[in-house]
Amino acid sequence: MQNSHVIIVKSEIANRRIIMSRRYFGTDGIRGEIGKAPLTPDFVLKLGWAAGRVLASQGVPLVVIGKDTRISGYMLESALEAGLVAAGVNIRLLGPMPTPAVAYLTRTFRAAAGIVISASHNPFQDNGVKFFSSDGTKLSDEVEQKIEEYIDRDIETVSSEKLGKVERVEDAAGRYIEFCKRAIPNDITLEGLRIVVDCANGATYHVSPYVFSELGADVITIAATPDGVNINDNCGATSLALLQKSVKEYRADLGIALDGDGDRLMMVDHLGEVVDGDEVLAIIAAHKHASNTLGEHVVGTLMSNLGLEKAVTSMGLTFHRANVGDRYVMEIMRKTGGMLGGESSGHIIARDRISTGDGTIAALQVLHALIDSGKVLHDLKQIMEKYPQTLVNVRIKEKVDLHDNSEIQKAVEQAEQQMGSRGRVLLRASGTEPLIRVMVEAEDRAETKELAEMIASVVSKVAA
């Protein structure tokens, strides 16, 4: 076991100097509660114009826009459309589409950028705007900084003959379905498998069930009737009780839960037991390694379970821990040439297939491993032994300096001394919500809970 140590993400602070100096962009675009700054119609119109000015300077004045199923998506889409058109940018509207689908279609349309209107796993009251570059990856910090600089200027509309034009892409869902199906070999069929697919009443409702059924599976679809306000509501990757119940009720082989924008997944085996992002990553890594299609590197994060690290290194592979956030996972993958990476939360990036996290494609990779091995999901996940982790999210009203606060450091040191070499502590600020995440990992579950709650109570008192 590694020596107990606290990891307060100092390297992440260094990597995010530009982000921390900005007013609007966070680690995953701009996100917040609808009607409150910055998620207001006037701001989003200005954002569209600012992005249009920056992106049009790249010489390809075309942007694709997709959204999840939140009722506020209509308002934000219209505002972005007006701003982009005023900047002289042409638009292809994709309608409700998973985030990874927008990344894929950005590339296929040779667009300057893709825009997703989504707040991912957040409740319907929230929404957000995030961007993809022309190659389907997150915009660089430098480009986002330039967009912010334009937000501070007055809107200057191009002359009438140079205004952008808007088209709706009618076959966007079909294009993405076919793309996903190509993620496994043509000779692989899902016939004989009964799968429950939980779409979180989100952007995958008209896509993912068809991917699995067209490949031969018997698919039972749940949480696939979005009404604008039920996205992620007691369903999807962040709330698995409905899926666990449904898998047992329908005597399914397994269940797949996607989040509101489809870029992450969690799974459930035939017994109703959860298979999380770390276990999914281990299963895919083992299968790809056995078929010599993986390479030598697998990327997790500081939150990845120690059991995943041990499983990967036991294969003779190198395991890297990136800072939390899929953009940092991708950064390490690029540096190392790694083809597989992901997060415990279910963001899995199969870089040989797509440039961002994709829940549907990750699920297909697991199903491929299941079919090749002849095993059930419950047996496949035994490839790694999970160490107990307790994660406590502490909501804060203002930023907390995790480095210099003596009360927090004292609590952490106390936990370290108690665990000795049997565990570790991780404190980090969320990049998308006003939260401090307190994680304790150790051999003893009761001890992790006790120490995580102790540290969280101190953080909560300091942040009150």
Q: What is the pLDDT of residues 333-364, one digit of tens each?
A: 999 999 999 999 999 999 999 989 999 999 99
Does residue 208 share a domain with residue 147?
Answer: no
Instruction: Supply the pLDDT for residue 325.
Output: 84
Q: Which of 140, 176, 173 is nearest to 58 (CA)?
A: 140
- In the structure, what pLDDT confidence band is assigned to residue 19 with cuts at 50, 70 and 90? very low
Find the catalytic residue in 4, 72, 118, 120: 120
Asked if the structure places residue 66 within a domain, the reply is: yes
SS3 of 276-294: the string is CHHHHHHHHHHHHHHCCCC
Active site includes 421? no
Task: Work out the average pLDDT over 209-237.
Answer: 98
Query: Residue 38: is the preceding peptide bond cis (ω within 30°)?
Result: yes
Count Cβ neighbours within 10 Å for each residue of 223-257 and write b for 16 or more, e otherwise: bbebeeebbbeebbbbbbebbbebbeeeebbbbbb
> Is 365 part of a structural domain of the chain?
no
User: Are 280 and 333 in the same domain?
Assistant: yes
pLDDT tens per residue, range 254-310: 999 999 999 999 999 999 999 999 999 999 999 999 999 999 999 999 889 988 998
pLDDT-derived band at 10 (thresholds 50, 70, 90) equals very low
Q: Residue 20: pLDDT above 50?
A: no
**Residue 236 forms part of a structural domain:** yes
The whole-number average pLDDT for the span 397-408 is: 82
CB 289 within 8 A of CB 271: no
Q: Is 91 part of any domain? A: yes
Looking at the structure, tell me whether residues 400 and 437 fall in a common domain. yes
Q: Which amino acid is at 83?
A: G
Between the two ends of the chain, the Cα-to-Cα distance in Å is 36
What secondary structure does DSSP assign to 399-446, as a single string?
Answer: ---TTT-HHHHHHHHHHHHHHGGGEEEEEEE-SSSSEEEEEEEES-HH
pLDDT digits (tens, 9 = 90+) for 423-441: 789 898 876 678 899 999 9
Exposed/middle/buried for 182, CB within 10 Å: 0-12, 13-18, 19+?
exposed
According to the model, what pLDDT value does residue 21 have? 59
Among the candidates 120, 137, 169, a domain finishes at 169
Among 219, 242, 272, the domain-final residue is 272
**Nearest one of 238, 62, 52 to 129, comparing CA atoms:** 52
Give the integer Cα–Cα distance in Å for 85 and 83. 6
What percentage of the chain carries pLDDT values higher than 90? 79
pLDDT in tens, 108-161: 999 999 999 999 999 999 999 999 999 998 888 889 999 999 998 999 999 999
pLDDT at residue 447 tops 80: yes
| Cα–Cα distance measured from residue 93 to residue 86, given in angstroms and rounded to the nearest whole number | 16
Q: At 369, is the pLDDT very low, low, confident or very high (cuts 50, 70, 90)?
A: very high
- The answer to whether 409 and 417 have CB atoms below 8 angstroms apart is no
Backbone angles phi and psi of 456, in degrees to 5: -60, -35
Within this chain, do residues 136 and 259 fall inside the same structural domain, yes or no? no
Q: Is 23 a member of any domain?
A: no
Is 179 domain-assigned?
A: no
Tell me: do 163 and 53 sit in the same domain.
yes
The overall average pLDDT reported for the chain is 91
Domain assignment present for 124: yes
117/95 same-domain check: yes
- Are residues 350 and 402 located together in one domain of the fold? no
The CATH number that applies at residue 318 is 3.40.120.10
Kindly indicate the confidence band of residue 327, based on its pLDDT and cuts at 50, 70 and 90: confident
Q: Is 48 helix (H, G, I), strand (E, B) or coil?
A: helix
Per-residue pLDDT at 220:
98
Indicate if 160 and 218 belong to the same structural domain. no
Decide if 66 contacts 101 (C-beta within 8 A).
yes
Reported for 182-189, long-range contacts at CB under 8 A and 24+ positions apart, including other chains, are 183/350, 183/353, 183/361, 183/364, 183/365, 184/215, 184/364, 184/365, 184/367, 184/368, 185/368, 188/215, 188/368, 188/371, 189/215, 189/216, 189/371
Residue 366 lies in a domain: no
| For helices 99-108 and 172-181, angle between their N-to-C axes, nearest 10 degrees | 100
What domain count does the chain have? 4
pLDDT of 7 = 34
Last residue of a domain, one of 255, 272, 289: 272
pTM as predicted: 0.88
Query: Does pLDDT of 196 surpass 70?
Result: yes
- pLDDT score, position 278: 97
Structural domain that includes position 144: 34-169
